Amino acid sequence: MEAQALEHERRLGRTQGEEALKHAIAAAELYMQAAGDAKTPEDRKRLRHKCAELIGLGERLKANNPVSDAASRPPVPESTRPLTTAEKTIILKASRLHGNIFPPWQSAPDPGSFSSAGSSGAPYKDPYPFTFSVEQQAIFAGWRRPAELTAGAKDGGAEGGLEQLMTVRAEMDLAQDLATDCSVVASLCAAARHFGPTKDSLLASLIYPFDTKAMRPELSKSGKYVFRMYFNGSWRQVAVDDRLPASKSERSLYVVDRRNPRLIWPALVEKAYLKIRGGYDFPGSNSGTDLHALTGWIPEQIFLQSDDFELDETWGRIKKAYDEGNAILTLGTGNILPEEEKVLGLVREHDYAVISLKKEDDSRLLLIKNPWVDSLVWTGVGSSATLKAHTVGSTSESSSNQFWMAFEDVLQHFDSLYVNWNPALFTYRQDHHFKWEMPDKTEELVFTTNPQFSVLSPSGSSIWVLLSRHWQDGELEILRQRKAEKDRGDAPLATVSKQLGFMALALYATSPPGTRVPLPDTHRRLYQCPYVDSPNTLLRYDPNPGVPQTLVVTQTELPLPAYSFTLSFFSNDPLTINPAPSPLPHNISITGTWTRRTAGGSAAHPSYFTNPQYALTLPHASPLTCVLSTSARDLPVHVAVLFSASSTTSNNNHNNPQRVTAILGRDILCSSTEYHRGCTSASTPLLDAGTYTVLVSTFEPGHTADFTLRLSSSCPLTIKPLPASDAAGRLRTPVPGVFFTPGQSRIRARVGVTRLTRLSALARSTAGSASALRVALERGTGPHRTVLAVSGDGEFADASMGLRTGEVDVEPEGVRAMGGLWVVLEQIGSGGVGMYTSTTSGRNGGADGVQVEVLSDGAVHLGGWEDADEE
């Protein structure tokens, strides 16, 4: 039964009108029957939720696709997913912005609120104090109502009446002057064809009051206008009055239509949008973001200078969508040099509207409009179009500030193409809202705290995922600072962009499917959209049918401590989306620091064991994953899980673990494959119950940084730092002139002390010796000698990771009476080949590279090596 319902859903995504409505009803009925037969509460809840989604979709199909007009535009999908209490709280908190409250949209406002002035007899006055820049404030002449701004316009007149303030008499020619909102005006210009007096006009759901017969905005007698705009995860209500900022000069502080200067509804749209963005001293945006707020259409930023840009594919899909009325196009320039601006006729870091597209002969052309009043127009210098020279770059009085440009020239002179796509291209939409506390600097390079979602599609039909960062007051100050720096030229564009931070989306294939991803992994990454500093980014991909995939929200350098976001999934098949679970349910994190004392470097250095070490205890056998990340992005790091003297629960020492001071190859239970910059990971499919040592290291000694170590397992685990190495702060005295003659296997050097001293011996092969070694501290010689401490429980081993004895206390009198104290080095496997290593200033050279040191808490005196084979 559920399979039948799913098939109707699939057909629903491929049909329209009455046919789509039939499939929606059939699927809803089948899901309701399946819910009644479900055996578990979870299945009943899931199936009832699917039923509710289909009923909601059916209602929208009825409203938007009457039987008598099956060819009408498909309905715009809305998310019918029930919100959790936490999500509802996020949406409500995001209503507060710049001292205003913008409540989520519930329904169209009461027409009575626009019919007359309030009880006091005065028209509505918005209490919000709109701000102005210094330049704007200098010419600001106060707020004026429409009748005050339009000389000669009186109530009741036909051609001269106030109704003309809302009527477009000819094709609009909108222009920006002193308002710093080129992206807004470019957006209005580009969307003008969707604001016309047709049944599909986007104005009908944007501005209230609205005359549905004339299909244009209606004059509000109360002076109040309400706008329905999409931002901060919801359609929201934005109310403004009809007052506009008057000017003391001929310059304008709001958008004007040069063919009908009395038309004010574009200026009211602009005012409402600037209210949610902070004021008339608008610090800047991009037209894709602005159009998303004004229309709800899906924004996509296409980077024209990217190596991945596909010219033919991009032209094909935007031309088709534009011709069908499903795309609004705008363009943005980059940081053009001042001397190039005049030559090219283009303004740097400026947004332009695309008015039309066409293909003529072999040229693909865009009609582009600069929204500024009396601004530069492209000169056509270096044009690659095959049209007549006067056609490309030309303009006229009837199309002011407009010019044709070949698509190839657009790629050369513009940085970004912004496309806002009609959401009605999709049948289904699912919104998820979440808050993200920004991770500690040490975890910025990994995904341990990133929001992640498991996405399952029944087909390979394309999925679009839009990530929207909610605006908040703290970002406005950053934007204003950014604009001030750009205006002063204090910082290059790249530096300024970093002030706002960047975000992106990435899709991964995981094992098990749909589980969390611990850190970036290019081998498992399927798709990645570019990092952007705008509040929206879009990922388009084709899913693997029937297999959950993991979507990761990523960021870098977002400056505020916390953000809220909305993820909107658009598809033509129903999707199953949930927070991605961790592949191992038990997780624990610990932070630490490599200091000058503890940054011991890799195992190639004698100081390796001074690196931070941790005791990890597993009560049961379990898989284990370790993720190590640091605040130093370029620092190579490594993590290893080691067997130690307390690595089994049967050992009485597991409750009092000790630092590892030497290891054999078999002691490394798992480790990261190599030193990786900034972050790395290690895992093992099964680790027995017990206590182990986790050692984290940098490649070179002395490189300091903070780090975070995160461990995951299938059972509860504990981790605690082991005390600083007992070798830290000890005197390191090298034994000079390590020398084996051919066939020699055992040599010794005398150790002298002048007071009670605690010491140990360390041997390390630094150049890949073929010999297995053992180092010991012995008292006396001959048959009566006593072994005080020996490395590796007396076993010979590879010394590349270091071999160290335990520590012993010795007194001068005791060692003299018992035949002296000796450091003894033994080898096997030399094949009778002599080995000589000289030691200078603590660094060894020589054929096999063996280094021997005595670590002590007091001064020691070392003699030369002598033969000890006779023993």
Residues marked as catalytic: 182, 350, 370
One DSSP character per residue, 258-285 reads: TT-TT--HHHHHHHHHHHHHTSSS----
**Of 239, 269, 245, residue with least CA distance to 144:** 245
Between 17-37 and 41-64, two packed helices, what is the crossing angle to 10 degrees?
Answer: 160
**Of 458, 411, 567, residue with least CA distance to 9:** 458
What φ, ψ does residue 531 adopt, rounded to 5°? Answer: -70, 130
| Separation of alpha carbons 81 and 330, rounded Å | 32
One DSSP character per residue, 429-455 reads: EEEEEEEEEPPPGGGTTS-SSS-EEEE
What φ, ψ does residue 487 adopt, rounded to 5°? Answer: -65, -35
| Separation of alpha carbons 167 and 197, rounded Å | 9
Collapsed DSSP state (helix, strand, coil) of residue 496 = helix
The amino acid at 607: S
Do residues 270 and 181 lie in contact, with contact meaning Cβ atoms separated by under 8 Å? Answer: yes
| Separation of alpha carbons 716 and 580, rounded Å | 20
387-424: b (≥16 Cβ within 10 Å) or e = beeeebbbbeeeebbbbbbbbebbbebbbbbbbbbbbb
| Separation of alpha carbons 273 and 278, rounded Å | 9
β-sheet with 562-571: strand ranges across = 428-437, 562-571, 463-469, 536-541
Q: Is 340 left (phi over 0), alpha (psi -120 to 50) or beta?
A: alpha
Q: Are strands 210-211 and 216-217 parallel, antiparallel or unpaired?
A: antiparallel
Do residues 583 and 706 lie in contact, with contact meaning Cβ atoms separated by under 8 Å? Answer: no
The amino acid at 394: S
Between 265-277 and 182-190, two packed helices, what is the crossing angle to 10 degrees?
Answer: 130
The total of other beta-carbon atoms located within 10 Å of residue 621's CB is: 14
Do residues 733 and 853 lie in contact, with contact meaning Cβ atoms separated by under 8 Å? Answer: yes
* Farthest CA pair distance, the chain: 125
Collapsed DSSP state (helix, strand, coil) of residue 147 = helix
- Calculate ∠ Cα 119-122-127, nearest 5°: 100
> Please, which residues have CB within 8 angstroms of residue 430's CB and are 6 or more apart in sequence?
79, 81, 568, 569, 575, 577
